[in-house]
Structure 1
Amino acid sequence: MSRRHLLLATGLAAPALIAARPARAAAEEVDVELVLAVDVSRSVDTEEMEMQMQGYAAAFRDPRLAEGIAGGPLGAIAVTLFVWSDWNIQNVLVPWTKLDGPAACERFAAAVDGASRETYLYTSISGAIDFASRQFGQRYSGLRRVVDISGDGVNNSGRPLAQARADALEQGIVLNGLAVLDRTPQPSALLAGIPPVDEYYRDEVIGGPGAFLMVAEGYETFAGAVRRKIIREIAALPTPGPLVERETA
């Protein structure tokens, strides 16, 4: 075949090859894309880890949560849950899931029940924010994009927290916090001048329009705290509320 004929054949085949490529599916619109980021650093023991996971599962079984979802303009949200610790440790336990009614909420809760329980070492809130920011827009397109970060310590691994926070806010992401207070803080933390975790989360972690902090007064109050927090986060028209809410025993 002459070079001219080869070029013509190639040129004719190219459009067919391009047309044969599957089009990338458009992201499905939802009211909220919610990323749940759960602390599993060494300060979280086995019992506390179980309390956290049970708390998340119970929250999605609460009828008020499904009612809140139904009240949105689209009547659906998308949620994913991952655990985090060191700057390079973030593991997705429940992938993006569309929630549009009680049955879908129950499936998400069951997935949380069946997820692995794991703990690691350090506390990289900056790493968690960076990872969470990359999760948006994969399958869904939310009218709002929210990261829900739970934890009981300050950033001690990875890049500066202020940088990660600023980058997320520039993308229009809302950062909410769920700070768990240790009723018996370690003396070393007090001597090192580390601020109380609720003050730290309020001043250094949360940010964006309508951002707020939920404080759990000990892990035994975690279930109630996370339930209140998620219901507030998915509200169709979030009303101005307190910057800091508390769940006590």
Structure 2
Amino acid sequence: MVLTLLTAQRAVAREAQNAGPVDTALIVSVDVSGSVDDGRYALQMDGIARALEDNAVIAAILGGRRASIFFTLVEWSERPAISIPWTRIASREDALALAAQVRRTPRQEGEFTCVAHMMKFVSDLVVTTKPAPAGRVVMDVSGDGIDNCDGEEATIANRDALVATGMTINGLPINEGDPSRPLGGGAFRAPGRPFEQRKFTGEIKTLEPWYEKHVIGGDGAFLLPANGYKDFRHAIRRKFVFEISGRRTPGNSRPNAERADFPGRSGRVSPELASTR
């Protein structure tokens, strides 16, 4: 089974390489830890598929100088895995075919929210296998919890190592559940409730600031939260348009390397982008 999968991945990589460089290499990295049940997983996969079918996203893909991108899907918990290897999208038909593949993708099993593990995996086994050059490399990280495997230093160090390669990492924190539960439990505030900061273990922590400090980074990095899993499809569609086209979100102009106090602070998405449907 493993040999068959490796053979298929190599065949896809050879085909993508033969077609030459692309405008964007997009890594879509989704949380499949214990807080993500089957229903939540289905909402994420359907959201990604719908985004790939969206006319604005397809226009962004075909509107670049090379009119093509690479796409790969990583599912992560304590055991990150490549669910869809690097795949070239160079036409509407390619995008629709990939959307159908995303919907058929089986879930990887996992329990813990290991962001640092995922970033190290992407550095070692995803970036290094990109089949041809890309004008920019972007990773889109979504999840509903903070890292509960490694300390903050490991997460920041692995993020910074990826940014040092020229990658931009954008964040899609999913705000879902009971706001009284602690960070790391996959619950931060009930969908639809106003954003509010709450105290946990003497510190003011909510998911969005954690993503700003530990996840996003690189030139033009930004944060766009989803108001619950049912809002994921709207958020991922908006993010894809900006990530694939290379357009900067309003007010975003500097990489995190220049922001020593709180990386990505200015990368919170603007009201104009947040209201776009």
TM over 0.5: yes
Q: Distance in 2 between matches of 1:248 and 1:143?
A: 26
Aligned match for 1:174, one of 154, 168, 176: 168
Q: Distance in 1 between matches of 2:123 and 2:275?
A: 27
Residue 5 of structure 2: aligned partner: none
- 1:230 to 1:117, Cα distance in 2 relative to 1, 3 A: same
Q: Distance in 2 between matches of 1:211 and 1:95?
A: 24
CA contact under 8 A between 1:216 and 1:225: conserved in structure 2? Answer: yes
Deviation track 1:137-170 (CA, whole Å, cap 9, x = no partner) reads: 5212111011111111111114610110111111
Aligned match for 2:92, one of 96, 102, 108: 102
CA contact under 8 A between 1:216 and 1:248: conserved in structure 2? Answer: no
CA contact under 8 A between 2:222 and 2:249: conserved in structure 1? Answer: no
Instruction: Using structure 1 for the length normalisation, give the TM-score.
Output: 0.83
Residue 111 of structure 1: aligned partner: 101
Normalized per residue, which structure has more strand? 1
Aligned pairs for 1:145-224 (under 5 A) are 145-158=137-150, 160-189=154-183, 191-192=200-201, 193=203, 195-224=205-234
CA contact under 8 A between 1:66 and 1:100: conserved in structure 2? Answer: no
The amino acid that maps onto 1:136 is: V
CA contact under 8 A between 1:183 and 1:217: conserved in structure 2? Answer: no
Which has more radius of gyration?
A: 1
Structure 2, unaligned stretches of length 5 or more? 1-16, 184-198, 252-266
The amino acid that maps onto 1:225 is: A
Deviation track 1:165-213 (CA, whole Å, cap 9, x = no partner) reads: 1111111111111110024235344543472111111122101000011
Instruction: Using structure 2 for the length normalisation, give the TM-score.
Output: 0.75
Structure 1, unaligned stretches of length 5 or more? 1-24
Percentage of identical aligned residues:
32
Shift, 1:100, TM fit: 0.9
Residue 83 of structure 1: aligned partner: 75
SS in 2 for 1:178: strand
CA contact under 8 A between 2:24 and 2:136: conserved in structure 1? Answer: yes
Shift, 1:248, TM fit: 10
